[in-house]
Structure 1
Amino acid sequence: MNTYRLNNIDLGSFGFIAGKQNESNIALTGCFDMPARIGKTFHSWGDEHSIEPYVSASEIQFGGRSISLTGYIYGSNRADCQSKATSVFKQIDGFTDLVPLTCKWGTYQVYVNEPVLGNFLGDHALKISFSFREPVVEMNGVLPVATGASYGIDGISFKELGGVLVSSNGGQFNRPAPRSQTVNVWGKEGYAVTKTETNELNLKIFIDQSGLVDFKNKISSLSALLAAPGMRVFVPERGTPFSFFVKDGFKVTNVFSHVNRMTGMLECKITGGNVGVLALLPPVVNAGNDYTLDPSINQILITSASVTPRSGALIVSVLWELAYTEPFGLSLNILNEDTLFPLVKGIDNRGVYHLKLTARDSNGNSSEAFTKIISRDQPITNVFPFTFSYNLL
C-alpha cells in the first residue's frame, strides 16, 4: 500500500486510505505538472504581427503548481470519522511553513492552500480531498539530446521524448485573429485595421513508460527541454514547422500505474512568436564526468558527454581535442574524435589530461566544454602486519 506522509506524519494513523483521482488509479494529481512561467513572458507590439517572446535565460522564471490528494478516512461510525479528520486538521493548523508531502510518487514541499473537503459515504467512510500548493518546483531534468528526427521537437522524436503525439490542435494553418480594437465614432460604427496576434497549438502527448522511474525521467526531461532558453521548433508529421515557446507549463492527467507500466496524458499549449527579433542560442555542451585512471589502464571510453541544440537547430558536428596537460607536453590518442563518445588511448604518463568538446549547430553557432582524465600511480595495497597463532571463531 502507498503510504502518504504529511510533515513526516503517516496519514494512515488517522484512518486515511488513499483513493483514486478521476480517470486515474492513483490518489495524487498535479505532482507531474510543469509549472507556468511568472512575470512578463512576451510583448505585443502594436505595429508588428505576432508577439515578441521573452525567452532569454534571465527572463525565464517559474511559479509553483497545485497538487491534490484524495482518499478516505475510515472509522467505527460518523463521529469517529469526524474525530479523526479533526485530528488531521489540528496537525495542519500547526504548520508555520512548508512541510513535506511524501509518498511513492515523490516528495513535495507544500502548504494547504484551499479548504479540505469532506463528504460522508455511509456511516464508516469520509471521502476527503486535500489541496496543496508547491510554490517552488525543482526543475532538474536532463535535457534530451537531438538525434535529427524528422518529426518531433528540436529534432527529437516524440518516442524519444517518452510517448506518442496524440493531437496538435490549434491554428497552425490559420491567420491569427487581429488585435482587439477600441474605436468610438459618433453616429456610426467605428473600425480599425490592426495587426494580428499569434497562433497557439494544443499538444497532447501520451506518455507510456515501463515504470515510475522512467515515467518521471521522461516528463522531467521534456520539462527541461520546454523550459530551456530560446525558441523550440515543433515539426509535425504532416504540416509545416512551428516555432514556439511555452509560458503556461503543462499538465499530466489520466495517470495509471501498473506493475511494469506507467502511463499519462500530457497536455501543453505552445505559443508561436516572432523569432526574427531573437538572437539564435548556441548548443548546450556537457563534456561529462572526470575520470581517474591507473597507469596500467591506459585507455578510457568517454560515455557521459551530451550536446543539446537550441533555437530549432540541429547538431552538425562534434570534435574532441586535447586542450592541455599538467605537466605540459603529455600526449594521448583520441579515436573517433568526431563522435560524442570517443575512445581515448595512450594515457601512459602520470598527470592530468584536459579534453575539450566542441559542438557546432546548423545555425552556425558553437559551444565548448571541458573534462579531464587524471592518471595516477598504482594504488598501494596495505597488508595487515600481524598474524594470529589461533583460530578466530
Structure 2
Amino acid sequence: MGFDARDNGDSQDIRAIGWINTGSLIWFAASACVTAFAFFAPGISFGWSLLPFAVAVVSQSRTVRFACVAGYFGWVAAISGWGLVNLGYSALLVVPAGMGLTVFLGAVMARLGIGPTCLVLVPLHMFPGNPLLATGSVFPGAGLYAIFLLAVLVTRTELMQRPRHRALTLLLIFAAGNAVGALLQARTAGNEEAAIYRTLDISRISTITERGYNQALGSIMRPGHTYITGENIIRSDNAAAISQWCRIVRSGDLNVILGVQNAANGQSQLWQFNTQTCPNPTRIYAAQTGVPGITGTFAQMWGIKPPGPIGFLACFEAFSIWRWIEVSQDRPETVVTVARDFWTEPLQVGLLRRKISRQFERLLSVSSFHAEAGKTLLQKTTQEEEHS
C-alpha cells in the first residue's frame, strides 16, 4: 500500500510477520503486562496503556509493532470474551472470535499505522478499548477535538523515517499537551454549582428476594434526598416492583433515579421515581449501546437524553469512545455511569471503568460518578454537606 514510511521492502522483516519467534513473544508479553497494570492496578493511570503503542510507533519492525498492539488488544478481547461467556454466549464462538480480532487489529495497525486505524475505529459504537480513550493523559482539558488531534499527530509521526525523530516527536506531543493542559485546567476551575454525589457502599445488603432487596435499599435513603442506583435493579414489566418503589419514594419524599431493564430488548434505562412522577415514573435515560442479544442489539439503539446538566452512560457504554463523544456533545457538567458487573467477575472491570472515566474528567473538565448494582449507591449532596 505504501503508506508506512518504515516499509523499506525488507524481505526478512516481511517474512518475520508470519512468526513465532522469541523476540516477538517477549514484546507481546511486555505489552500485555503493561496493559494489565494500566487496566487493573490501583493507583496506576490508564494512560500507561498508550506505552505499547508508543513503542510500536517508534519501532522499525512490523513484528514488534504487531506484538505490542496484540498485547493490548489481547486484554480487550479477554475481558469482552469472559463477559460474553458468562452472559451465555458459546465459548466455542467467543474465543476464536477474540483471538481473530486481536490478530487482525495487530496486523492492520502494524501495516497501515496506528493513528489511522484508531481514527477509523472511533465511529464503531460497539467497539470497546480504543486506545484514544487515554487522550486525557496527553491533552488534559483540551476537549473532544483533542481525540482527533491525537490520531492525526500520531499518523504524521508514523510517516517519519527515523526512529529517533518519531520518539522525540511523541515526547514533544506529550510534554506540550500536558503543559497546555495545565494552563487550560487552571483557567477552567471546577463549577461550584455542579452536582456532587456521595458514593455509599451497599455491598453488605443481602436479601433473598427482589422485594426484600428493594426495601433494604430504600431503607438506607435519607428523606428528601436524590439517589441514583446501579443498572437493572428491576425490570420494566414488573408492576409490583414499580409500585413498591413508588411507595418507598412517597414515604420518604425521595427522588430516586432507578436502573430499569427494558423487558422487550434488555436495554438499560433509568426511570425517575418521586411524588410527582408516580405511579407512572418518567424514563429519563435509555442506553444506545449494549451487549447484543442481552442488553441491546448490534445496531445503535434509540435512546433518551436526560434533562439538565448531567450525562449518563450505562455499563458497556463507558468503554465506547463513540458514546463518550455523543454524551459530551451536550456539554454536561457531570457524567454518571450506572453498571452491573457480575458478568465480568472476578476481573476488576469497575476499576477499569473508573480509570477511563478519569481520562474524560481530565479531557473535558467534567465530574464523573459511578453507581454499581449491589456495590454502590449515589446520593446527591450540596457543597456544605460534602465538606461537613
The TM-score bracket by the shorter chain reads under 0.3
Greater fraction of residues in helix? 2
TM-score by length of 2: 0.22
Greater fraction of residues in strand? 1
TM-score by length of 1: 0.21
| Higher relative contact order structure (alpha carbons within 8 Å, sequence separation ≥ 6) | 2
